[in-house]
């Protein structure tokens, strides 16, 4: 049986909400064990935000992305816009399809 919440547009979010309706996740060093063992290519920093239990935005940053571990890469996205990638060098942003 469908709930009344199932009738809403999944991509629409309220303009206003109470602070207690928002959840924020932050993991400043995801992959701690690998980091302590020197495996830098698996290290990420994670940030996620949900409002009323629905995902709103997510960010994953890999500070050591390319060979030589000198280039970072950031993935970010929202339900309504999709996922994007931002490389430290060059300065372009592209969308995953």
Domain ranges of the chain: 18-91
pTM: 0.73
- SS3 call for 53: coil
H/E stretch holding 49 reads strand 44-51
What average pLDDT does this structure show over 72-84? 91
What average pLDDT does this structure show over 62-83? 83
Residue-wise pLDDT for 9-20, tens only, equals: 656 667 788 899
27 or 72: which leads in pLDDT: 27
CATH H-level superfamily of 18-91: Fructose-1,6-Bisphosphatase, subunit A, domain 1 (3.30.540.10)
C-alpha 58/C-alpha 27 separation (Å) is 12
């Amino acid at each position: 049986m469908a709930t009344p919440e199932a009738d809403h547009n999944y991509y629409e979010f309220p303009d206003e909400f109470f602070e207690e309706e928002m959840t924020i996740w932050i993991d400043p060093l995801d992959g701690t064990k690998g980091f302590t063992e020197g495996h830098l290519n698996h290290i990420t920093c994670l940030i996620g935000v949900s409002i009323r239990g629905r995902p709103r935005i997510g960010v994953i940053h890999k500070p050591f992305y390319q060979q030589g571990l000198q280039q970072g890469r950031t993935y970010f996205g929202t339900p309504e816009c999709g996922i994007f990638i931002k490389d430290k060098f060059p300065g372009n942003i592209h969308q995953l399809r």
